[in-house]
Amino acid sequence: MKAFLVLEDGTLFSGEGFGAAGKHIGEVVFNTSMTGYQEVISDPSYCSQIITMTYPLIGNYGINDADMESTTTHLGGLIVHRLAEMPNNWRAKTGLSEFLADRGVIGLQGIDTRALAKKLRQRGTMMGIIAAGSYKATDLLEEVRTADAKPHPSPVYRVTTLAPYTLHGSGYHVAVVDFGVKQNIIRSLMAHGCKVTVFPAATSAAEVLGCQPDGVLLSNGPGDPKKVTGAVTTIRELLGRVPIFGICLGHQLLGLAMGGDTYKLPYGHRGANHPVKDLQTGRVYITSQNHGYALVPDSLRGNDVEITHVNLNDGTVEGIKNRFVPAFSVQYHPEAWPGPEDSRYLFDSFMGLIRQSKH
């Protein structure tokens, strides 16, 4: 099956399709992780995006039951240089192509993914159309160009849980506001013995506090934080009433709630090798990241917020905390999966914060 990617600037990549046939318009992004494609494609934060893996051999160890970051996939398409024809791993249940086909996700392989990544780096993230089947490139270009530019509602509402649910544990009770939560955040909390109640993104502060949580975790999720309007109000109301830990989108939302501003990065951070410096200790951690927006440092210079972590490469804000109330957040993924586990300790910190606030 022939397949294509056409970028809004007219660049055409043609290769071979895998996964599902069809077409999809979405933001084209690249991820530099060399392992962890299963976690990537099942991470709700990639909702509707077309992901290019820069590592050229993908699918090598197949797909297993355990490494899912959500029960289904939300991505719009996957682009790889070479899909493994003979995946092999003791946990593998199926191959990547079959997996994507089952979920209606379009795959494209056999293109110069490095050229594509370079283009995205130079031009910034672009919209594109991925299509597998008998399509004509010119039609596709027309389609991506005329794709309506009117503002969409945040994709958060497509990936959040429809109703609250609780997972039992004997430790602290943590309310997770689900903006597209990765399963491993929940697993990490449960590994700390927590009881976890997951709320939809649009939940009010009152409702969250209604379950009498010991702490609130603001999850990761897709898209522009500013479009998740209700959440900012909710967080503002939660601040000071319960310890808060924000991750990724949750971090941006916490920043917004504390008066900060966000902006869109030219091509985002997506990968497993981003060095982040803890400004308090001077220590550097290698982190797992997936975000297209970031907090504007200057917008945080107010009295309440302290920037705790920065990206060693480009100086972007990677962590903040409130000076007065127990609330902190990081732009990266301390839960890992995919990516390094260096920052797992942040869950301990969160537990510590909860413990402290009880005194």
Using CB under 8 A as the criterion, which residues of the chain lie in contact with other proteins when the complex forms?
Answer: 30, 32-36, 38-39, 54-57, 60-61, 64, 66-67, 81-82, 84-91, 111-115, 117-118, 121, 271-275, 277, 282-284, 286, 312-313, 336-342
C-alpha distances out from residue 190 to 47, 207, 270, Å: 25, 22, 26
Nearer to other proteins, 151 or 282 (CB): 282
The active-site residue out of 74, 81, 248, 269 is: 248
Nearer to other proteins, 206 or 284 (CB): 284
Residue 100: CB minimum distance to other proteins, A:
17
Residue 184: CB minimum distance to other proteins, A:
10
Phi, psi of 155 (to 5 degrees): -65, -10
Which two three-digit tokens encode residue 296?
Answer: 């504007």
237 classed as catalytic: no
Find, among 183, 181, 187, the residue nearest to 159 by Cα: 181
335 classed as catalytic: yes
Q: Which strands make up the sheet holding 195-200, listed edge to edge?
A: 165-167, 195-200, 173-178, 215-218, 244-247, 327-330, 317-322, 305-311, 262-278, 284-295
Which two three-digit tokens encode residue 65?
Answer: 């039951």
187: three-class secondary structure by DSSP? helix
Nearer to other proteins, 56 or 153 (CB): 56
Residue 258: CB minimum distance to other proteins, A:
27
The active-site residue out of 24, 81, 269, 333 is: 333
Nearer to other proteins, 43 or 214 (CB): 43
Strand partners, 58: 83
47 classed as catalytic: no
Residues belonging to the active site: 248, 333, 335
